[in-house]
Amino acid sequence: MNFLSLIESKREGKILAPEQIQEFIREFTAGKIPDYQMAALLMAIYFRGLNTAETTALTLAMRDSGDVLKFPKDKRPLVDKHSTGGIGDKVSLPLAPLLACLGFRVPMISGRGLGITGGTLDKLDSIPGFKTLLPTAQIIAQVQKVGCVICGQTDKMVPADKKIYALRDASGTVPSIPLIVASILSKKLAENLNALILDVKFGSAAFMQTKADARKLAKAMVALGNQCGTNTRAILTDMNTPLGRAAGNWLEVKESVECLEKKGPNDLLELVLDSAAHLLVQTKKSKSIAAARKLAEDCLRSGEPRAKWDEMIVAQGADLKAFNKKFAQNSTAKVVVELKSEKSGCVSKCDARIIGEVIRDLGGGRLTKDLQINYDVGVDQIAKLGERVEKSGMLCRIHAADFVQAKAAIIRLKTAFEISAKRPAKIPLVVEIISH
Ligand code: URA
């Protein structure tokens, strides 16, 4: 193919035909287009954009660049959730077993964290023996038998996205809405879903800083998902402050299991139940969100999703005895220190970005893709917005590998919190629902 003329067309703002898009994705995946030319096209797309038809063609061509999961016929709908990521966002972990117990099949293909946002696979890697990389046949078999799997993309799934994402990362072309839409949806559509709920976050620690940008991304993904035959909805949620009271890989697994035991924080529980409720309505298993919420709550209360969690992790190789022993520990990090409040009042700010940066610097996140992380470090018992604290009362606990790192974290974390005399106005967690 004449790839140079295709780059020039997009540079001049022309519209690419679906066949041209399919061909360049095929050729790039096969190694027939050099990275420098692909990077030039990505930059042209970054500036000129893609219209809906082009974005659809790109998404489908990327989906079809590798294996698409094929499940046997079954009356249980196939569903999943995707979050654009944030601090303490562990919703996927309790949600997958809850959905399985609500009569869904959940092929939850997840990713690793980069920068400050955590990745579901890194969290699961903190479970002794747990395997996140499974062959396609095992993914399908586990979904059919257990009802849910949370694992990584195989090498054969959506290889075009892997190659293109690496180039976007190195060429300053990540923040392009059509490229983000195609990247996220190509992977989700490769799961062959009936319904998908997207949690698009905005705020200091989110990919999209403003609500307006988050809405733009959500609308584009919802429109395209629905057009491609997957019932797709999005919720816009606040990520100026962390979700739950714990952030850091193992600490988040622990809080997720506490959520399944109905001992977790309210905001996490709310988002898990809301996500399940939307999927129940999207698949017509419930007539209204209120009825769906009740169904999800009753299911959680039954204890079945907690048992399903054990079944899921054992199916993926976890050593349940070692997991239970770790779960019973107060802390698994070498050093645990408390950040104390310097005055009495109400928590009026708890900046998720600063907390995320502290965890990354403690070794809980990675700056480059191949960096080894420390699963046990993080922050927990975080005081939530609006809560009252007394002078010398605890704002959070820091789990660190040594005292030097713990001390550095304390200095930084002091700037994450603000304490005011007046209780701040309550901020809703879900601010908008986008269904078309
Ligand atoms: N997550 C993805 O998978 N792709 C993007 O482009 C951005 C976030």
SS (H, E, C) the chain: CCHHHHHHHHHCCCCCCHHHHHHHHHHHHCCCCCHHHHHHHHHHHHHHCCCHHHHHHHHHHHHCCCCCCCCCCCCCCEEEEEECCCCCCCCHHHHHHHHHHCCCEEEEEECCCECCECCHHHHHHCCCCCCCCCCHHHHHHHHHHCCEEEEECCCCCCHHHHHHHHHHHHHCCCCCHHHHHHHHHHHHHCCCCCEEEEEEEECCCCCECCHHHHHHHHHHHHHHHHHCCCEEEEEEEECCCCCCCCECHHHHHHHHHHHHCCCCCHHHHHHHHHHHHHHHHHCCCCCCHHHHHHHHHHHHHCCHHHHHHHHHHHHCCCCHHHHHHHHHCCCCCCEEEEEECCCCEEEEEECHHHHHHHHHHHHHCCCCCCCCCCCCCEEECCCCCCCEECCCCEEEEEEECCHHHHHHHHHHHCCCEEEECCCCCCCCCEEEEECC
Distance 117 CA to ligand 1 centre (A): 12
Distance 365 CA to ligand 1 centre (A): 17
Kindly list the structural domains of the chain, giving each domain's residue range(s) and its CATH number in brackets, ordered by start.
3-63 (1.20.970.10), 79-324 (3.40.1030.10), 332-420 (3.90.1170.30)
326 neighbors 393 (Cβ within 8 angstroms): no
Which protein residue's CA is at the shortest distance from atom 5 of ligand 1? 180
Residue 433 amino acid letter: I
Average pLDDT over residues 78-103: 97
pLDDT, tens digit, 9 for 90 and up, residues 38-53: 999 999 999 999 999 9
Residues designated as active site: 82, 161, 168, 183, 187
The ligand 1 atom nearest the CA atom of 187: 3
Average pLDDT over residues 380-400: 98
pTM as predicted: 0.95
Residue with tokens 């059509």: 178
Which protein residue's CA is at the shortest distance from atom 7 of ligand 1? 180
The ligand 1 atom nearest the CA atom of 165: 6
Specify the pLDDT at position 363. 94
Mean pLDDT lowest among 5-14, 173-182, 277-286, 297-306:
173-182
How confident is residue 199, by pLDDT bands cut at 50, 70 and 90? very high
Establish whether residue 183 lines the binding site of ligand 1, counting it when its CB lies within 6 angstroms of any ligand atom: yes
Mean pLDDT lowest among 57-66, 154-163, 288-297:
154-163
Which protein residue's CA is at the shortest distance from atom 1 of ligand 1? 184
Mutate to test the pocket of ligand 1, among 82, 117, 184, 196 (most ligand atoms within 8 A of CB): 184
The ligand 1 atom nearest the CA atom of 179: 6
Average pLDDT over residues 390-413: 98
pLDDT at residue 117 above 90?
A: no
How confident is residue 66, by pLDDT bands cut at 50, 70 and 90? very high
Establish whether residue 114 lines the binding site of ligand 1, counting it when its CB lies within 6 angstroms of any ligand atom: no
pLDDT at residue 87 above 90?
A: yes
Mutate to test the pocket of ligand 1, among 183, 199, 200, 213 (most ligand atoms within 8 A of CB): 183
pLDDT, tens digit, 9 for 90 and up, residues 311-335: 999 999 999 999 999 999 999 999 9
Specify the pLDDT at position 114. 67
pLDDT at residue 420 above 90?
A: yes
Edge-to-edge, what's the strand order for the sheet holding 394-400? 335-340, 394-400, 378-380
Establish whether residue 158 lines the binding site of ligand 1, counting it when its CB lies within 6 angstroms of any ligand atom: no
Mean pLDDT lowest among 189-193, 352-356, 368-372, 410-414:
368-372
Which protein residue's CA is at the shortest distance from atom 3 of ligand 1? 184
pLDDT at residue 304 above 90?
A: yes
Specify the pLDDT at position 115. 72
pLDDT at residue 368 above 80?
A: no
β-pairing, 195-202 with 231-238?
Answer: parallel
Specify the pLDDT at position 24. 96
Q: How far apart are CA 387 and CA 426, in angstroms?
A: 11
Average pLDDT over residues 189-211: 95
Phi first, then psi: give them for residue 211, nearest 5 degrees. -65, -40
Q: Which percentage of the chain shows pLDDT scores above 90?
A: 92
Q: How far apart are CA 282 and CA 267, in angstroms?
A: 22
Distance 184 CA to ligand 1 centre (A): 5
pLDDT, tens digit, 9 for 90 and up, residues 216-262: 999 999 999 999 999 999 999 999 999 999 999 999 999 999 999 99
Specify the pLDDT at position 331. 94
Specify the pLDDT at position 371. 78
Distance 181 CA to ligand 1 centre (A): 8
pLDDT at residue 116 above 90?
A: no
pLDDT, tens digit, 9 for 90 and up, residues 120-147: 999 999 999 999 999 999 999 999 999 9
Phi first, then psi: give them for residue 126, nearest 5 degrees. -80, -5
Residue with tokens 């629902």: 433
Please tell me the total number of residues recorded for the chain in this structure: 436
Specify the pLDDT at position 104. 98
Structure tokens at 193: 């879903």
Distance 183 CA to ligand 1 centre (A): 5
Specify the pLDDT at position 95. 98
- Which comes out higher in pLDDT, residue 375 or 372? 375
How confident is residue 303, by pLDDT bands cut at 50, 70 and 90? very high
How confident is residue 372, by pLDDT bands cut at 50, 70 and 90? confident
Establish whether residue 184 lines the binding site of ligand 1, counting it when its CB lies within 6 angstroms of any ligand atom: yes
Distance 427 CA to ligand 1 centre (A): 27
Q: How far apart are CA 90 and CA 378, in angstroms?
A: 14
Establish whether residue 230 lines the binding site of ligand 1, counting it when its CB lies within 6 angstroms of any ligand atom: no
